[in-house]
Chains A and B, each alone.
Chain A
Amino acid sequence: MDLSPIWLTLKLAGITTLLLLLVGLPFARWLSRGRSFIKIIIEAIITMPLVLPPSVLGFYLLLAFSPQHGLGKWLHDTFDVQLVFSFPGLILASVIYSMPFMVGPVKSALQQLPGSLAEASYTLGKTEWQTFRYVLLPNIKPSLLTAAVLTFAHTLGEFGVVLMIGGNIPGVTRVASIAVYDSVEKMDYASANNYSLILFSITFVLVIAVFVFNKYQAKGPLA
């Protein structure tokens, strides 16, 4: 059995989760502070992958990243970068596709913290970043873990977007979900079953780990 689709999937999910921790957390903090029309629009845009068929999102990303059009052409001409049918393209598409799974839970958790926590930190002379790092983030640990695991698990299960942007290039863009589909098409049900079982096991363990962690947290002093 070729395990490269599994490793590629884990690599893609890991990098996507790390990138979304870096980008999504400050973004969630910004969205959690006050309401404005522009924030509503931006939040709606990043929530779209939750409701859009993945193939629709994949189609638009394919158009955007295509070296024949707009952004993709500019990237290709200026930096000699091609995102379509490449692993970096998969990462970018995954970040966009999984963003609501990181931003949503973190934003809600931040909004549920009393505003006076951040205010108290400001009166102690602490900056917005110090307050975020040392006061707000540690107090939303369970939500943070849930968001990271959901993002990771969701990326493991990507199919439509990945197929549209990456295609099915072995070792480059052929992730586990594509390998399952490809194996079924070839009537190789044994391989399809192996890939499916591995994906099922990984996600099941992850979800169990989150439940156990959150249960432990609920009994702890941060409850």
Chain B
Amino acid sequence: MISVDIEIKLKAYHGGHLLPIKKQFNKGSITKILGPSGSGKTTLLKMIAGLSSPESGKIIANGVTWFDSGSKINVSPQKRNAGFVFQNYALFPNMTVQQHLEYATNEAGWIKRLLQLGQLDKFTTHKPDHLSGGQQQRLAILRALAIKPKLLLMDEPFSALDSKMKTSLIEELKSLIKQLDITTIIVSHNLQELEMFDGEVIDFEEFV
């Protein structure tokens, strides 16, 4: 279980304001967070991943404190084992599809399975610039799964996929999430995009 009880500072043109967030994410659950752009959804994901720090509060994952402003604990993102799918994909321009996955894991069998899952097995030697938007997005998802994360954080992960590809990928993804017992948090501004996922839906404004 991931327990989040933090305050995050949201920047705005006329100064910032503090947004308190208190939420528990059960182990193996899928949570869909909706909210308009600029509401702090991505910031929340980055704080859970350890890529930025809340103003104050605590983040506890399966009994391990990842962040505690009181006792100045802040576990590095490298040690949190949280897969992260970035909204802009954040693919490495110098690496091929195969190299992206090899950078994340050295389990050859697992890489092969992921490539089949994302239907990228015919594009292993392609660099991101030679992939379509949908293929890039799939590679970003596969790379996040390559580390066999216990927590998967996805920021607008299906926006570039066509409906056919989305259907097949989400079905496979759902079974993988269940099989690996991954706690999953998906952020989107579009509810329809996430309707194929069962799970709790949270309007981000409820946190306020």
Q: Name the A residues within 8 Å of B76 (CB-CB).
A: 122
Q: Does A114 contact B90, Cβ atoms closer than 8 Å?
A: yes
Interface of chain B residues 120 through 169 with chain A (CB within 8 A) = 127-130, 143-144, 146-147
- Report which of B49, B77, B79, B93 forms a contact with A139, defined as CB distance below 8 A: B93
CB-CB contacts of A199-215 with B at 8 A, as 1s and 0s? 00000000000000000
B127 contacts which chain A residues (CB < 8 A)? Answer: 221
**Residue picked from A122, A126, A135, most chain B C-beta under 10 Å:** A122
B84 in the interface (beta carbon within 8 A): yes
> In the complex, which residues of chain B have a beta carbon less than 8 angstroms from the beta carbon of A222?
93-94, 129
State whether B88 touches A123 (Cβ < 8 A): no
> Main SS of chain A's interface residues?
helix
Asked if A56 lies at the interface with its beta carbon under 8 angstroms from chain B, I say no
Q: Give CA–CA (A135, B93) in the complex, Å.
A: 8
User: Which residues does chain A contribute within 8 Å of B80, judged by CB atoms?
Assistant: 123
Report, as a range, how many residues of chain A touch the other chain: 10 to 19
Query: What 0/1 readout, one digit per residue, does chain B (83-94) give for beta carbons within 8 Å of chain A?
Result: 110101011111
- In the complex, what residues of B have CB within 8 A of residue A138's CB? 92, 94
* Given A116-B88, A221-B127: A123 touches B82 (CB 8 Å cut-off): yes
Question: From B128, which residue of chain A is reached at the shortest CB distance?
Answer: A221
Contact B143 A124, beta carbon cutoff 8 Å: yes
**Which residues from B are CB-within-8-Å of A134?**
103
Residue of B nearest to A140 (CB): B94
Residue of B at shortest CB range from A122?
Answer: B77
Question: In whole angstroms, how far apart are the Cα atoms of A189 and B123 in the complex?
Answer: 62
Q: How far is the CA of A123 from the CA of B94 in the complex (A)?
A: 18
Contacts of A116 in B (CB 8 A): 86, 88, 90
Nearest Cβ on chain A to B54's Cβ, whole angstroms: 16
**Is residue A119 within 8 Å, beta carbon to beta carbon, of the partner chain?**
yes
Q: Are A123 and B103 in contact, with the CB atoms below 8 A?
A: no
Interface range for B: 20 to 34
Q: Cβ of B51 < 8 Å from any Cβ of A?
A: yes
In the assembled complex, the Cα of A134 lies from the Cα of B103 at a distance in Å of 9
CB of A117 within 8 A of CB of B78, answer no
Name the residue on B nearest A124 (C-beta). B104
The answer to whether B81 has its CB under 8 Å from any CB of chain A is yes
One of B91, B92, B93, B144 near A123 (C-beta < 8 A): B144
- Which B residues touch A190, using CB under 8 A? none
**Contact of B78 (CB < 8 Å), options: A114, A122, A139, A221:** A122
A121–B144 CA distance with the chains assembled, in angstroms = 10
Are A117 and B90 within 8 A (Cβ)?
A: yes
Please determine whether A120 and B90 come into contact, CB atoms closer than 8 angstroms: yes
Report A-chain residues with C-beta under 8 Å of the C-beta of B51.
119, 122-123
Residue A223, interface by CB 8 Å: yes
Beyond A138-B94, A221-B130, A223-B129, whether A127 also contacts B78 by CB under 8 A is: yes
A125 at the interface (CB under 8 A from B): yes
Cβ contacts B23-66/A at 8 Å (1 or 0 each):
00000000000000000000000100111000000000000000
Q: How far is the CA of A120 from the CA of B90 in the complex (A)?
A: 6
Closest to B96 in A: A221
Residues of A within 8 A of B83 (CB): 123
A125-B81, A221-B127 given; A120·B143 CB < 8 A: yes
Selected A-B contacts with CB under 8 Å, 12 pairs: A119-B46, A120-B90, A120-B91, A123-B77, A123-B84, A124-B143, A124-B147, A134-B103, A138-B92, A139-B92, A222-B94, A222-B129
New A-B pairs, 10, CB < 8 Å, besides A123-B147, A125-B147, A126-B103: A114-B90, A119-B86, A121-B92, A121-B103, A122-B51, A122-B76, A122-B77, A123-B84, A125-B78, A221-B93
**B residues within 8 Å of A by Cβ?**
46, 49-51, 76-84, 86, 88, 90-94, 103-104, 127-130, 143-144, 146-147
> Interface of A with B (CB < 8 Å)?
114, 116-117, 119-127, 134-135, 138-139, 221-223
In the complex, the 10 A-B pairs of residues with the closest C-beta atoms, listed nearest first: A116-B90, A138-B94, A120-B90, A123-B84, A122-B77, A221-B129, A221-B127, A124-B104, A116-B86, A125-B78
